[in-house]
Structure 1
Amino acid sequence: MIKQLINDIALDKIKLSQALTRTKLIQNKVKNDTLKNWLKKELEGYEFEDKFLPNYRRVYSEINLIAQFPGGQETKLPITLPEEAEEQDIEFLKFHKIHESITIIEIQLSENDTNKSYINLPSRLIDSLSLLLPKALMIQVKMGGGTLQGFREMNNILYNNVIEQTKQKLLDTLIELDNEFPDLEDEYKISEENTNKLQNIVTNNIYGGTNPMNIALGENVTQSGNTINLIEQKTEELKSYGVEEEEIIELKEIIKKDSNDKSKLSKNVLGWLGKVSASISAKGLYEHIPQITEFVQNLI
């Protein structure tokens, strides 16, 4: 199953939405909640305020306001934010977040034979944005019988990039799973060791960043005292992510005991991260896994 799926994805024999759907069968075999929830987001769409919306789904796309007059005349209206405007307002005007599912993006691209797409803004948002226009300009628009329309202009290469980046995440995850568990379909057994290995494969490939295998490498390996102090400073933050106090103590012990052995430290920290990630997923707090992974990567 997994080998054929890898081949079909790599050779573009199937759509990405089909590949994601078929991966559900693999997820059902390995019972990994991180993979399950990622597949759900990609196939059903992301929530509006999802903190872990991939960076490539945040794209530059300014809002345009147009005054349309009788006879077909159109005038582009400049939107000027006040100097005290908040950063989130500036972000909203200049950038667009692509929350749509992979299926919708694929359909949109297949039905659009141009290089650009246009996202029409709802009337309520247009009314709010009109308050940022000079009053004198709005008076001229009304006197001329004009109406306001708003839209974002999107280059379709940005949508194609979402497809490609997601495809690579999926492909890398499946390839590494196949390498680690070559008989996954027939021989995979749910055990603590396998769960930890699988969790790290999924987390690393889906969320990106440095491979956890490398977190113990570098010149600061012997600075276990400073590292433990950093863990102590961040204890409450880790607890807010769902990490238990016993697990934090365990991490300190690993750092203290294995700091002079890079290979052993790497292996044990990797094991700790995998076990904690599995525990976090079981609690339904999978969205905190990238934060925990990043924290561990920055320890040493």
Structure 2
Amino acid sequence: MTQLSQLIDLAPDDSGSITSILLRLKIVASRIKATEIVQWVNKELEGYSNDDELPKYRAHRSFPARGLWANPVRTLDNAELSTMGLEDRVREALFGTSFRQPVKELEKFSEGEGAARISWDPQDITIYLSQVQMKMEYMELISAATHIPVGTFQGIISNIRSKVIDLALELESIDPELGETSIGTDMEEKVNQVVQNFTFNVYGTGNNIGAGKEFTQNLTVKVNDVSSLITAAGKLGLTEEELQELQDAILDEPQKQGTKVTRFIERVKTGVVGLGLNVSAEVAASQITQLINAYYGAG
């Protein structure tokens, strides 16, 4: 039985470890010189860093949050929390998350019962109470947590299995023996096309974060030169209003990045501020961060 046929047989079986399946795929990808597939497998096994573009199935999404309200007279537990009045960045941060953990951790969550909880720290609660319009009158919010249904984790694992099956079937259609040994140059073009299609299906774009870095490297920003920073940011697709917001933040924090510049980057990352390019919000934030780092002399 070939490596590909084993993958195709094992991947649909929910009782089989997704880690083992990915390791088998890594062997095949290495032998056929599919570097992008090897990198994807490694990130799934080891987890994604904050600078990595996430696959669509791991991207940020919103979830409900529940809290414990109390006063000296009574307690109200597991009450759903309102988002009315929250700034976009606060709502995105407290009522949602992306999934950067190693796949083994996600698999453990997928086998649990009920919902996983991301507890808020006291600062989160303070920020929430300072903005939200609907509160429990005469009661204090003691604790809170974002609730992620177990089905969310099961969906991510299922998506990964499906991606592996689709890839293995595509490779098998080229040659059932692919992955048994290294390939020759005559096969590379066909394999590369399959790999490009796979990357598009995983990330939703033909350009991952690497392409974003290459694009940014073509833009010139001089240290402590606001004009060059704003010109470069404009080429990324920021509107006049957004460029003015960035300029005001930089002028208020000319020597060192502070809360205003950080808040602007966060707004890009959550999609509130968008670039006129076909890239994800996380890639957009990475590109803007590189320009700002260059301005501060840290790039």
**TM-score (normalised: structure 1):** 0.57
Equivalent residues in 2 for 1:236-255, closer than 5 Å: 240=215
Q: What is the CA distance between 1:47 and its match in structure 2?
A: 2.5
1:189 to 183, 187, 193: 183
2:165 is the counterpart of 1:163: no
Seen in structure 2, the aligned counterparts of structure 1 residues 135 and 96 have a Cα distance that, compared at 3 Å, is closer
**Whole-angstrom CA distance in 2 between matches of 1:39 and 1:72:** 51
Partner of 1:105: 106
Partner of 1:132: 131
2:206 is the counterpart of 1:205: no
Seen in structure 2, the aligned counterparts of structure 1 residues 59 and 133 have a Cα distance that, compared at 3 Å, is closer
Seen in structure 2, the aligned counterparts of structure 1 residues 36 and 118 have a Cα distance that, compared at 3 Å, is same
- Secondary structure of residue in 2 paired with 1:51: coil
Q: Which has the larger radius of gyration?
A: 1
2:62 is the counterpart of 1:60: yes
1:39 to 31, 38, 41: 41
How many correspondences in the alignment? 210
Seen in structure 2, the aligned counterparts of structure 1 residues 121 and 238 have a Cα distance that, compared at 3 Å, is closer
- Secondary structure of residue in 1 paired with 2:55: coil
**Whole-angstrom CA distance in 1 between matches of 2:43 and 2:192:** 18
Q: What is the CA distance between 1:166 and its match in structure 2?
A: 1.1
2:90 is the counterpart of 1:96: no
Partner of 1:281: none
**Whole-angstrom CA distance in 2 between matches of 1:153 and 1:97:** 13
Seen in structure 2, the aligned counterparts of structure 1 residues 99 and 239 have a Cα distance that, compared at 3 Å, is closer
Seen in structure 2, the aligned counterparts of structure 1 residues 14 and 74 have a Cα distance that, compared at 3 Å, is same
Partner of 1:226: none
Task: Could you tell me which runs of 5 or more consecutive residues in structure 1 were left unpaired when the two chains were aligned.
Answer: 210-236, 244-289, 292-300
Q: What is the CA distance between 1:91 and its match in structure 2?
A: 3.4
Q: What is the CA distance between 1:137 and its match in structure 2?
A: 6.8
Question: Which residue identity is paired with 2:122?
Answer: S
Partner of 2:116: 117
Partner of 1:9: 11
Compare the two structures and name the one with the higher helix fraction. 1
Seen in structure 2, the aligned counterparts of structure 1 residues 62 and 47 have a Cα distance that, compared at 3 Å, is farther
Seen in structure 2, the aligned counterparts of structure 1 residues 53 and 124 have a Cα distance that, compared at 3 Å, is farther
**Whole-angstrom CA distance in 1 between matches of 2:74 and 2:174:** 63
2:166 is the counterpart of 1:172: yes
| Of 12-21 and 127-136, the range deviating more from structure 2 | 127-136
- 1:110-129 CA-partner distances (Å, limit 9, x unpaired): 2x233x22222233333332
Question: Which residue identity is paired with 2:178?
Answer: L
**Whole-angstrom CA distance in 2 between matches of 1:161 and 1:19:** 17
8 Å contact from structure 2 (residues 47, 102) kept in 1: yes
**Whole-angstrom CA distance in 1 between matches of 2:66 and 2:51:** 23
8 Å contact from structure 1 (residues 57, 162) kept in 2: no
Equivalent residues in 2 for 1:229-240, closer than 5 Å: 240=215
**Whole-angstrom CA distance in 1 between matches of 2:135 and 2:59:** 37
**Whole-angstrom CA distance in 1 between matches of 2:173 and 2:98:** 34
Seen in structure 2, the aligned counterparts of structure 1 residues 126 and 198 have a Cα distance that, compared at 3 Å, is farther
- Secondary structure of residue in 1 paired with 2:131: coil
Aligned-residue Cα RMSD (Å) equals 3.7
8 Å contact from structure 1 (residues 79, 132) kept in 2: no
Q: What is the CA distance between 1:35 and its match in structure 2?
A: 0.6
